[in-house]
Amino acid sequence: MASISIDADTTIQKVIDPMLSIPLFSLSFPDDKNQSNLYPREAPITESENSAISMLMSQLSSKPENTRIPKITTGSRLAFEIILTSADTFVVNYLPSSDLKADVRTVAGDHAAMSKICADFEAAVPHVANQRQHDLLTQYIESFRTGSLDAYR
């Protein structure tokens, strides 16, 4: 078809590469085959930075689930934010990490709008049919407020 007209050839050249390209395959540390929203790409995080942050999170008994970790550069100052998906909002600053040579802070409240869901769940608790429903709702409320997936596991 592209050989029929110049317009067709121009159009096919615009779409052929996206049509035939191989998509990123999995969610993982970002590279040429994997993607992740855990590490927003405005300022790419390196594998050594990722390892140091993972070590810090482990020391804090914090899991990477329900987090995003942007790398922020202000002038010559480097910082990482461990953004926690939760309804409750708070900020915790940690001492600069020697492994990272950067400030690290946890910022909770990435999904503060979930507090409305928590309020609706709390209103539903008195109307549950059994203990299992009660437990499930209260565990979801805790999970949504804190960002902890352990609350309902």
Check pLDDT > 50 for residue 26.
no
| Domain-embedded: residue 148 | yes
| Domain-embedded: residue 129 | yes
Give residue 64's pLDDT: 73
**24 against 67, higher pLDDT:** 67
Strands (E) located in 48-143: 67-68, 71-74, 77-84, 90-97, 102-108
Burial level of 136, CB count in 10 A (0-12/13-18/19+)?
middle
pLDDT in tens, 48-91: 888 888 888 888 777 777 788 888 888 888 888 888 888 888 88
Instruction: Find all residues with CB under 8 Å of 84, minimum gap 6, and list them.
Output: 66, 67, 106, 107, 108, 109, 110, 147
pLDDT in tens, 114-146: 899 999 999 999 999 999 999 999 999 998 888
Give residue 36's pLDDT: 61
- Specify the pTM: 0.62
| Domain-embedded: residue 32 | no
Give residue 27's pLDDT: 46
Rounded average pLDDT over 27-55: 69
Check pLDDT > 60 for residue 28.
no
Question: What residue type is 59 in one-letter code?
Answer: Q
User: Which residues span the domain enclosing 119?
Assistant: 114-152
If asked whether residues 103 and 42 sit together in one domain, one would say yes
Rounded CA separation 67/36 (Å): 11
User: How many CB atoms are located within 10 Å of the residue 75 CB?
Assistant: 5
User: How many CB atoms are located within 10 Å of the residue 114 CB?
Assistant: 21
Check pLDDT > 80 for residue 95.
no
Rounded CA separation 86/1 (Å): 53
If asked whether residues 21 and 42 sit together in one domain, one would say no
Check pLDDT > 70 for residue 1.
no
Give residue 23's pLDDT: 58
If asked whether residues 41 and 99 sit together in one domain, one would say yes
